[in-house]
Structure 1
């Protein structure tokens, strides 16, 4: 890990903290959803654009030669080091004044994830990961779950309107047949960090985007979790499948849901 990347990581942590406070200040009160539907169950709020623009400006000022890609505006700058942001992951929760959402920022070096920060301000939690330096939740080291039997596992599966219902039901059926307990929380980034810290034993999503996972990938790598080859299988340029899973059930679950691991 180079000094330049470590310096960026430390600076980015402060930027994400500020961005998370901005997002929290813009969260609607509890109630019906506040925002605009991009497609079925895919919400856009004023905070999405404001938080992304805030992070983009700050990172450009700090590291003008770095690339930048956001969920809302796409790739606006290029570079061998590239920041990838999801300004509000879990927007459907955010739009209803719920707590399970986060600001996610990842750093890629030549398309390889090297650092990530996932901050859930309404939960008071920040996950961080730097390749070779460990994974942390609020500054304390985390590791993937020690579970080694799917019959005692808790597994989350994300839903997307881009996935045909039969495929979704097939994977849910495989999870149930394995004896695991299914869950769904509405934030892919937080589900992935839950795998990294052992709150979940696996997370599956059939179609998910780079900005949803970029911040979590280094955290997962440093936690000891096993992860499917999301980037290799198209995640750099479009939606792809991800499976993140505790090592003790990795082979059994990958076989059950027919998603190969690296």
Structure 2
């Protein structure tokens, strides 16, 4: 089962979208090279003001490289200005871009960060690019055409026993409300009791590429931050994994929470998350 909206419906303009995807890969890889040049393994921001300044610096530098080229690649598309926003989008095509997915890691000299771009049509992701500049990996997906790492097809884990599973979650953004944080803590405990190992880290996209690739078995999050979930949702879905909310219902940007899992583990993950202790 795959519960993304119309997950295997090939868009009528697939040939056009393939060209858009090719252009988006070039744009995002170019942006990634700039972000790599801005990376410093010795970076140690000393206070909140330094953190905010560094984050905004990265965002502004990359935005200047990607916004207009991506809009030009898909005439008529629009741009989501707030990368931390959630909820349903208006009808039509929108670029949801994270100029530095894992920005907090980047500015602290850690290596888990990426540049991502997803084209969303009527609240369903239709194509995505995730580029990891430090290792040179580029993950891509086009709805109905599969998910790939540098041209090699992705496949999810074949596990069927949650007790053997490596699963993960993480904070979506600073300032989450207390209820969401307590719910996250309760489900971490539930998964610690049911799964083999639980990772808690950021950003979401870098855990979701592991789920799409079969290196991890499930990821869940109590958030509707679109930019952190849409790229991985399409990659996992197109790889053959299952994407729903934590109750097993179809997921969209309007959903309150998120679950992506290997198909043989999805039902067990839903059960574990539905009654956290």
Same fold (TM over 0.5): yes
Alignment partner, residue 229 of structure 2: 213
- 2:168 touches 2:219 (CA, 8 Å); kept in 1? yes
User: Shift of the alpha carbon at 1:144?
Assistant: 0.7
SS at match of 2:94: strand
Structure 2 stretches of 5 or more lacking a match? 1-10
Q: Which of 37, 51, 56 pairs up with 1:25?
A: 37
Residue of structure 2 equivalent to 1:47 = 58
Matched, 1:69 2:80: yes
Choose the corresponding residue for 2:204, options 183, 188, 191: 188
Matches of residues 233-244 of structure 1 in structure 2 within 5 Å? 235-236=253-254, 240-244=256-260
Report how many aligned residue pairs link the two structures.
Answer: 254
Q: 2:220 aligns with which of 196, 200, 204?
A: 204
Q: CA deviation at 1:228?
A: 1.4
CA offsets per residue over residues 137-161 of structure 1, 9 Å max, x none? 1211111111111111001111244
Question: Quick check: 1:28–1:34 contact (8 Å CA) kept in 2?
Answer: no
TM-score by length of 2: 0.82
TM-score when scaled to structure 1? 0.86
Separation in 2 of the partners of 1:34 and 1:6?
Answer: 44
Distance 1:225 1:14, change over 3 A: same
Shift of the alpha carbon at 1:36? Answer: 5.2
Structure 1's consecutive aligned runs of 4 or more residues displaced over 6 angstroms after TM superposition are: 230-234
CA distance in 1, matches of 2:271, 2:31: 40
Gaps of 5+ in 1: none
Tell me, yes or no, if structure 1 residue 58 matches structure 2 residue 72.
no
Contact 1:37 1:44 in 2 (8 A): no
- Shift, 1:11, TM fit: 1.0
Structure 1 residues 73 and 178: CA distance shift in structure 2, 3 A: closer
What per-residue deviation string (whole Å, max 9, x for no partner) do you get for residues 6-29 of structure 1? Answer: 221111111111111111111233
User: Cα distance 1:208–1:120, how it changes in 2: closer, same or farther (>3 A)?
Assistant: farther
Deviations, residues 86-109 of structure 1 (Å, cap 9, x unaligned): 111111111112211111110112
Per the alignment, residue 138 of structure 1 pairs with 150
Secondary structure at the residue paired with 1:117? Answer: strand
Tell me the alpha carbon deviations over residues 195-224 of structure 1, each in whole angstroms, 9 at most, x when there is no partner: 000111011111140111222222111111
Matches within 5 A, 1:43-122: 44-72=55-83, 80-122=92-134
Q: CA 1:212 to 1:72, structure 2 compared with 1: closer, same or farther past 3 Å? A: closer
Answer whether contact 1:105 1:214 (CA < 8 A) is retained: no
Task: Give the aligned partner of residue 172 of structure 1.
Answer: 188
The one of the two structures with greater contact order (alpha-carbon pairs below 8 A, sep at least 6) is: 2
Alpha-carbon RMSD across the aligned residues, in angstroms, is 2.9
Farther off after superposition, 165-174 or 113-122: 165-174
